[in-house]
Amino acid sequence: MSGASYYGLAAGTAKGGSPESRLAIYKVCSPGCSGSGMLAAFDDAIYDGVDVLSLSIGPYSSNRPNLTTDVIAIGAFHAVERGIVVVCSAGNEGPERNTVINDAPWILTVAATTIDRDLQSNIVLGSNKVIKVQSIALCGIPI
């Protein structure tokens, strides 16, 4: 759909899916998560030419290493240095203070949340049909 925007922002062409996308999945935890296994997976992903790395893994906030010893931060740094976007989970221990992990400045850290209300939006189709949806944001990455 050409001319798509979010209330006038980020105007451009919207398209669904990404037919040229491919998944590369690297198993790093079995039965535990070794640092060498994680770094090997980063190396494999870099070698394989991935564009985005998404990690749902990290240390407990009480055991958080500093950036010079954090295996994920080190592996992510090498990936980002080669133009790969690295997205990591913020952790699973919240909502207490200081529980966010994977917060190196070169990592895009994301978190889920629960809220006590619905955020409703309207989507207007090309035929002017209006569909009510529940959403906080619609995101797309052009390929």
**Amino acid letter at 64?**
R
- Phi (first) and psi of residue 81, to 5 degrees: -60, -25
The least confident of 6-15, 17-26, 87-96, 121-130 is 6-15
Average pLDDT, the chain: 80
pLDDT greater than 70 at residue 113 = no
Residue ranges and CATH numbers for the domains of the chain are 23-114 (3.40.50)
| Higher-pLDDT residue of 23, 57 | 57
**Amino acid letter at 121?**
S
Q: What is the pLDDT of residues 117-143, one digit of tens each?
A: 555 677 788 888 888 776 544 444 433
Q: Are 60 and 27 in contact, with CB atoms under 8 Å apart?
A: no
- pLDDT value for 131: 80
Other CB atoms closer than 10 Å to residue 56's CB: what's the count?
10
Nearest alpha carbon to residue 108 among 95, 92, 90: 90
Residues sharing a CB contact under 8 Å with residue 123, sequence separation 6 or more, in sequence order: 130, 131, 133
**Amino acid letter at 38?**
M
- pLDDT value for 16: 67
Prediction pTM value: 0.65
- pLDDT value for 23: 78
pLDDT greater than 70 at residue 13 = yes
